[in-house]
Chain A
Amino acid sequence: MQDEQFTEIGPRTLVKGDIESNEVLAVFGQVEGKILSNSSVSIEEGGFVTSVIEAETIIVAGEFQGEAIAADQFEISAGGLVGSLDQDASIQAARIIIAGDFIGEATASEIIEIASTGRVLGTLNTPRLVMEDGALVDGDVLMDGLSKPEPVAQPTRTSRTTTQTQTRRGFTRKETTTKTGSGRTAVPVPIRRPARPVYEPEPVSEVIEQQETDDTEE
Chain B
Amino acid sequence: MADASIFGPGTVVKGEINGEDRVFVRGKVVGTIDIDSAAVVEPSAFVKAKVSAKEVEISGTVEGHITGFSKVEILPGGRVVGNVKTARILISDGAVLKGLVDMDLGEG
Stretch at the interface among A7-15, A108-116, A122-130, A136-144: A7-15
Residue in contact with B8 in the complex, picked from A12, A17, A21, CB distance below 8 Å: A21
Q: Could you say which residues of chain A place their CB within 8 Å of the CB of B27?
A: 7
Stretch at the interface among A22-30, A72-80, A149-157, A169-177: A22-30
Interface residues on A, range: 20 to 34
Q: CB distance A6 to B6 under 8 Å? A: yes
Q: CB distance B3 to A17 under 8 Å? A: no
Shortest C-beta distance, A203 to chain B (Å), equals: 15
- Does more than half of chain B's interface fall in helix, strand or loop, or is it mixed? strand
Q: Could you say which residues of chain A place their CB within 8 Å of the CB of B3?
A: 10-12
A8 and B5 alpha carbons, distance in the complex (Å):
5
Q: CB distance B8 to A7 under 8 Å? A: yes
Interface residues on B, range: 20 to 34
B45 to chain A: closest residue by CB? A1
Q: When A12-B21, A44-B1 are in contact, do A7 and B6 touch as well, CB less than 8 Å?
A: yes
A74 and B5 alpha carbons, distance in the complex (Å):
24
Shortest C-beta distance, A198 to chain B (Å), equals: 25
Residue in contact with A33 in the complex, picked from B1, B15, B26, CB distance below 8 Å: B15
A125 and B24 alpha carbons, distance in the complex (Å):
41
Q: CB distance B8 to A15 under 8 Å? A: no
Q: Could you say which residues of chain A place their CB within 8 Å of the CB of B15?
A: 15-19, 33
A-B contact pairs, 5 of them (CB 8 A): A10-B22, A14-B19, A20-B11, A29-B19, A44-B1
Closest 5 CB pairs of A and B: A17-B15, A10-B21, A13-B19, A23-B10, A10-B5
